[in-house]
Amino acid sequence: MASLISGTEVSKDIQAKLKQDVIELQNNLHNFRPGLRIVQVGGREDSNVYIRMKIKAATEIGIDAQHVKFPRTISETELLMELKEMNDDPTVHGIIVQMPLDCEYDIDSHKVTDAVSPEKDVDGLHTINEGRTAIGDLKGFLPCTPFGCIELIKRSGVQISGAKAVVLGRSKIVGTPASELLKWENATVTVCHSRTKNLEDEVRSADILVVGIGRPEMVRGSWVKPGAVVIDCGINVIPDSTKKTGKRLVGDVCFDEVKSVASHITPVPGGVGPMTVAMLMKNTVISAQRAAAKLLQRQWSLKPLHINPVVPVPNDITIARSQHPKDIAILADEIGLVGNEVSLYGNKKAKVSLKVKDRLKDRKDGKYVVVAGITPTPLGEGKSTTLVGLVQALCAHKNRNTIACLRQPSQGPTFGIKGGAAGGGYSQVIPMEDFNLHMTGDIHAVTAANNLLAAQLDTRMFHEATQSDQALYDRLVPRIKGQRTFSKIQLRRLVRLGINKVDPDSLTKEELGKFARLDINPETIMWSRVVDINDRYLREITVGQSPTEKGLTRTTGFTISVASEIMAVLALSKDLSDMKDRLSKMVVAFDKAGSPVTADDLGVTGAMMVLLKDAIEPTLMQTLEGTPVMVHAGPFANIAHGCSSIVADDIALKLVGEQGFVCTEAGFGSDIGMEKFFNIKCRASGKTPNAAVIVCTIRALKMHGGGPPVTAGAPLKKEYTEENLELLEKGIPNLLKHIENGQKFGVPVVVAINLHSNDTEREHALVKKAALEFGAFDAITCTHWGQGGAGAALLADAVIKACEQNTKFDFLYQTQATINDKLMTIAKNMYGAGSIDLTPKAKAAVKFFQDKGFDNLPICMSKTSGSLTGDPAIKGAPKGFNLLVQDIYLSAGAGFLVAMCGEISKMPGLPTRPCIYDIDLNTETGEIEGLF
């Protein structure tokens, strides 16, 4: 008499083990739970029975199993789209499509099963998983019923290796994969089917017999070799008058006959059936374990791109085009991004969803490094290039998870005097054309949102000037089909006004007028239109000159798009909710009673959010060596706070993990971008930096030592092309001041000397000696421009060691200090000033903002980048000078007060010979030329 192989008992053992596996997963990852989606089309009751069984088993194990039911009217296209969403959802680890599909329309079931991602195909029915099984690659998902059959045979104690196995049936779901699995267990396998000759003899030769032919009780006792192991995969309903239901379940094997011949046999029911469910659960847990392993994985599986530096170094665009970038989807996968966290813009750049932060919220942040510079020459000292070289060195050469976070370039400088801003030489972001031009349209979105608010501001003033309170109210809250209601944004305004009513018809005449009329004082308007090009003729304009505006003209002007407060809001927002709150609080003007008028008062917040909903997502690109770069936001450093976004840094810090590095830029010198990075950005983000890198050049230090002017487009004077230690030594105090600036915040400072071809070893030695004696953590000569990451390897080593130090980071001032105290603290500590003076206009602004309750905000100093002072002509590191503050204005949404120190144009102009003369499109190749 054969021993029963109880699938029910074995499945219980498997499910108990899986339950422990899920508990272990949750111990390692808080709130992590395996996710299974069971997709059903229609509502066949036989399918519902199986689905309930699967959900019950999953729930007992700890799997989040959800029954996703679609109507019989769903089309194939719609179903495939739904499956894609599940594929992209990182909380879903397993997807099964319950067959048959009960649909009114023809749906290709094979196309449907192949639409499930192979990584989530826990049924094991995807062509890729089937193919893997066929060639012996068992790392994919094995089909559940055959998988269960093998487990049952193993549990019987029978040796599979060397045994003669016969599989009766060749279906895609059971027979064919069962034969493959037996083969890879080293059995000698014969596959039989209804047309096999001498079928009984073939079956009788089997030491192991697996039956899945789909015919009730087809295999008789006389067909079975004495002592064989029989696995019955069949399930059939036959009439039985002895049963209350008049029917019973039987397998493809005549159990009563075969049990007296075989050594082991599976019953029906209670044999293979429970094992199918158990192995489905096992596959789901395996998928979840793989997903969890990725979350816990410390080291990326990133494959760098090789570069072959040549001498002399070609121009930037030639170098960029010599490299073939990775497909951005591959890079995204390498750094741990999944599914719907990545939106592809072609194959070289992609938007990264803020969902990453939620998925990785329990992962510890990586090391946080800010890169700034000394006071630069008009040529720039290679800060962005150094940052890119550093991350190439850390990631491609030191095997550390590392992401560079850079600002998006404005088209103003790109077409003006600077040209491209993707780094340079063998340390740049590629494709550099995409990086410098449009990219994913974020600046255009900022421009549109800014100008929408400007249009609404002027329009509202026009309508208030030409209508009565009642007419305004009736148009603002129109009656539609006899009913009128307040919109959400209007309800918020009512709350701010202290009017606790929701029925538009219940307002008093006074409340109605208070709600409808903003009563803006035109003299206080702080909001201007923007455009992302340098256009000096838009600095001051008159609007409203058309006869249709009834003489309601006013003087205003344009600023460059990256100077918009919306750009600062984008850079400082933590998420969509935070951005919405900041946008709503933007003060565009004050009313005639002196109260602030906000974007929310104008009703524009929601519309701006719609324009900006994609712009809040950073763009993933890559360096020349195939390491990741997050590009996001672009506030000017001498006008705004000059840092890339909090969102990009936050996502990057989670992706690199505890042992990784995020290197983010701060515009211009430490006195401008880095000071604002610490006092504004880190205050808003709550992040603590681990180190600062200060980039310098021998050329800039000589200029600060009294060298002749450095002019873009003009040849360098001999003082810069020949060794001159005396001039260099006189200029070193500028570097020391920038080192000191970093030290004042309690972070280690690493000096990166960006090598130029005219430099000498003695010049570098002099700078290193001075920097180290002054307290810099290290000072390194870097050759990344000509050698890529390899040329910044020593800088990477220094940064790694610096980030191992215990920092004592602190802000330079507390926001509760008075506006004057904060101005003086920055001027004295960052610039070396001895005193500050405020013009009458600035003094009036200080009193006004104090009276209005805006005095507890950080200060964003708008100052020349060409000098530590407010005068761009003064070089070096002067002490005790007086800093003049000419005006102060409010950026309430961004969350700071802007202090204007000197003439800082918010709308640059084009030079006599802008870069546009060199930029062209080759109409034969489609390539952009002259963008360096």
Q: Where are the beta strands (DSSP E) in 492-575?
A: 529-531, 541-543, 554-556, 558-560
- Report CA torsion sign: 315, 317, 323, 329: positive
* Residues whose CB is less than 8 angstroms from the CB of residue 889 and which lie 6 or more positions away in sequence, other chains included: 526, 845, 897, 898, 900
3-class SS of residue 434? helix
Q: Write the DSSP symbol of residue 715.
A: P
| Cα angle 521-527-529, degrees, rounded to a multiple of 5 | 130
* Residues whose CB is less than 8 angstroms from the CB of residue 151 and which lie 6 or more positions away in sequence, other chains included: 10, 14, 275, 279
127-165 burial code (b ≥16 CB/10 A, e <16): eebbebbeeeeeebbbbbbbbbbbbbbebbebebeebeb
Task: At 659, give phi and psi (nearest 5°).
Answer: -95, 5
CA-closest candidate to residue 541, choices 527, 525, 553: 553
Angle of the 175-184 helix axis to the 144-156 helix axis, nearest 10: 50
Q: Write the DSSP symbol of residue 42.
A: S
* Active-site residue list: 54, 98, 123
Residue indicated by tokens 């026009």:
462
What are the residues facing 681 on neighbouring strands? Answer: none
How large is the C-alpha radius of gyration of the chain? 35
Two tokens at 836? 């500050």
Task: At 386, give phi and psi (nearest 5°).
Answer: -65, -40
27: part of which helix (H) or strand (E)?
helix 7-28
CA-closest candidate to residue 681, choices 896, 397, 398, 394: 896
CA trace torsion 817, 820, 826, 829 (10° rounding): -90
| Helical segments of 536-666, H only | 565-572, 576-585, 605-612, 646-656
**DSSP assignment of 372-422, as one string?**
EESSPPTT---HHHHHHHHHHIIIIIS---EEEEEPPPPHHHHHTTS---S
Report how far apart, in Å, the C-alpha atoms of 45 and of each of 272, 524, 857 are: 21, 70, 64
* Residues whose CB is less than 8 angstroms from the CB of residue 702 and which lie 6 or more positions away in sequence, other chains included: 719, 720, 724, 727, 728, 731
Residue indicated by tokens 């991602």:
117
**Under a CB-based contact definition with an 8 Å cutoff, are residues 846 and 900 in contact?**
no
Q: How many CB atoms lie within 10 A of CB 104?
A: 12
Give Dmax (Cα) for the chain.
111
Angle of the 144-156 helix axis to the 272-296 helix axis, nearest 10: 110
**Under a CB-based contact definition with an 8 Å cutoff, are residues 734 and 868 in contact?**
yes
Q: What is the Cα–Cα distance from 136 to 147, expressed in whole angstroms? A: 14
Helix, strand, coil % in the chain, rounded to nearest 5: 40, 15, 40
Long-range contacts of 6-9 (CB under 8 A, 24+ apart): 6/267, 6/270, 6/271, 7/148, 7/152, 7/266, 7/267, 7/270, 7/271, 7/272, 7/273, 7/274, 7/275, 7/278, 8/270, 8/274
3-class SS of residue 702? helix
